């Protein structure tokens, strides 16, 4: 759903999310509700991708289990 949202913003505003983020960070764009929404979707996708990467590196069964004594 997040990728679909980003594609919708890209089509609507005629720029990629990468270009938007660069311009928004550089304060070339006015802060509107739509742009803040777009920015939050970009950040949500980044967080999801980072979490996926971390979880994909965890191997079940290799974790040390510590029990109280």
pLDDT for 22 beyond 90? yes
pLDDT at 41 over 60: yes
48 Cβ partners below 8 Å, 6+ apart? 2
Percent of the chain past pLDDT 70, that is, above it, reads 84
Report, as an integer, the average pLDDT of 37-55.
93
Confidence (pLDDT) at 53: 84
In the prediction, which pLDDT does 58 show?
Answer: 72
52 band by pLDDT with thresholds 50, 70 and 90? confident
């Amino acid at each position: 759903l997040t990728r679909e949202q980003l594609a919708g913003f890209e089509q609507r505003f005629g720029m990629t999310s990468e270009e938007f983020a660069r311009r928004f960070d550089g304060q070339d764009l006015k802060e509107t509700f739509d742009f803040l929404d777009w920015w939050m979707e970009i950040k949500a996708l980044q967080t999801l991708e980072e979490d996926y990467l971390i979880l994909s590196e965890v191997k079940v069964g290799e974790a040390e289990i510590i029990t109280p004594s």
